[in-house]
Structure 1
């Protein structure tokens, strides 16, 4: 039996990943995070790619002890034939090894093993792909070992599945934190949580998006799916405006070279409600059912129920009629 006062190795690793958001420069965050992961899950080399899941377009790639020529050869000649990668892409959130898909003897007879993996010193691989189905932002993480007698075990596969969501979440936070500091001349003053921000490129393609920002986009553009920002934000994306009020929210943009940092906050007059709470209050007061609100915003019914409970408490209302009156005051 473990003592809860002392974190287990997985908890410690997760804590270190999030600490890296502040301690590692944005440009080296992925490589540094993978190197720290080695203490918990040893490997010889690794790759972490970020991109668009639906189109397979890579936006950035970081490697650990993997020669650039071998990575370029893989991308040019072997990526489409990589059945392990293809399996991971088809089942986001699940980690795969070659032996999960075929016997080792059969794998050693494949062209990708004989002509690529073995010559570059990759005997065993373990990888996972994950994606946000709303924004289409995808992440690919693969670990490699060179020793034929040291395969990745089942427990290590489970560990990657447990760690991957935290690695990916921290990477999004790192991007947002870096660009916020750049917009604020190195300061974190006024920062009100990663969930309210997003980072996009000059073409309007999202690279990172917090949960509240994503939900705000779904509120102003029901059914919206990434990776491109919805047309409602084009005046901000083009630089025609710096701030734009849409629905219950105020959107703001900062231009940072080829990147844009977007933020969302409640419009004035929302009586202390968060952006998500203000949206739920307006929809519910307008007659929408909880399950319909959940479907529109891409959240669970229990999330909507909890947000409504918070709304009733903050607005000091006790019925739907009182809520409607409060919402009318906010909008009035």
Structure 2
């Protein structure tokens, strides 16, 4: 009966998880899930966030029953934290403080985690679709007689794919809801890392910068935060706050929207100062094909010179 009751409780937890993923904003979803996890695993506070693995930079964070400074101040010991080393080297596996030899004598444990009453921690890091971006869920406790058990560790590890998938679905749902008309929309964190996209987001950014982007360029992010809008050679972009993150809305300049994706790519390169031969070489086609495409571009836009194209494409 005990095993049956546990199975039913887990089933109810997963049903609630995916229901909340369809109804709640990402921040609310993460808080609700952490609270619900306390029904299964005794812990005092929890963290659920994401960031850039190589730089150990946390850019997206939700915290239950603790100050957000817990990971803001962690940056000072991040490079020396052997527990972080372990979890990054074992993506998808759940680890505990006591899995690291002599961890309780380390600088990271004594100078950081103990200051925040984390005498025990159990964490899992998973890789996300954006290259180099990871998500993590950590459960921390102080008032426990012993470390998290193997049963608790395995339970959390089995749940982690569901937590990651539910958050991914949740972000995709809200990003789709934010889209208007022919816009492409991306959900980004405060540093410009792309968490989720809807519509031809990657096609639009490739037209603007020549390649798909995992993070918006710093100068674009700075301009968006200052004025909520940015205009490039091909794109109009606007920013709207969404909880701790932002939606970035992308649209092709209205006057350029009549061009096909290939024509916009040719227009971007030609307007940037390239010759027809250079454009052809960049796109792997012939100069005569590029010349014909430029003729069609001029006809569609009602212009007759490269200078006019540069003015339209640059928004000057």
* Alpha-carbon RMSD: 4.2
8 Å CA contact 1:134–1:225 kept in 2: the answer is: no
Specify the alignment match of 1:84 in structure 2. Answer: 83
| Cα deviation code 1:71-113 (max 9, x no counterpart) | 43323x22222211221112210111122222xxx33332333
Match of 1:146 in 2: 142
Aligned residue-pair number:
228
* 3-state SS of 1:35 partner: helix
1:208 to 196, 205, 209: 196
Stretches of 4+ moved more than 4 A in 1?
1-7, 200-204, 212-217, 253-258
Measure the CA separation in 2 of the matches of 1:12 and 1:156.
18
Please state whether the residue corresponding to 2:112 is helix, strand or coil: helix
2:20 paired residue number: 20
Counterparts in 2 of 1:1-332, with a 5 A limit? Answer: 8-75=8-75, 77-102=76-101, 106-132=102-128, 135-183=131-179, 199-200=187-188, 205-208=193-196, 227-228=214-215, 240=234, 256=240, 258-260=246-248
Structure 2: any 5+ residue segments left out of the alignment? 217-230, 251-316
Note the C-alpha offset of 1:125.
Answer: 0.5
Q: Is the 8 A contact 1:17 1:33 kept in 2?
A: yes
**Shift in Å at residue 48 of structure 1?**
1.2
Aligned counterparts of 2:28 and 2:202: Cα–Cα separation in 1:
29
Judge conservation of contact 2:119–2:142 (CA < 8 Å) in 1: yes
Sort the Cα spacing of 1:132 and 1:118 in 2 relative to 1 into closer, same or farther, 3 A: closer
Give the C-alpha shift of residue 200 in structure 1.
4.6
| Partner SS for 2:77 | helix
Aligned residue for 1:62, secondary structure, equals: strand
Cα offset for 1:141?
1.2
* Structure 1 length-normalised TM: 0.55
Q: Distance in 1 between matches of 2:200 and 2:93?
A: 26
Q: TM-score, normalised by structure 2?
A: 0.58
The gaps in structure 1 that reach 5 residues or longer are: 186-195, 230-236, 243-252, 263-332
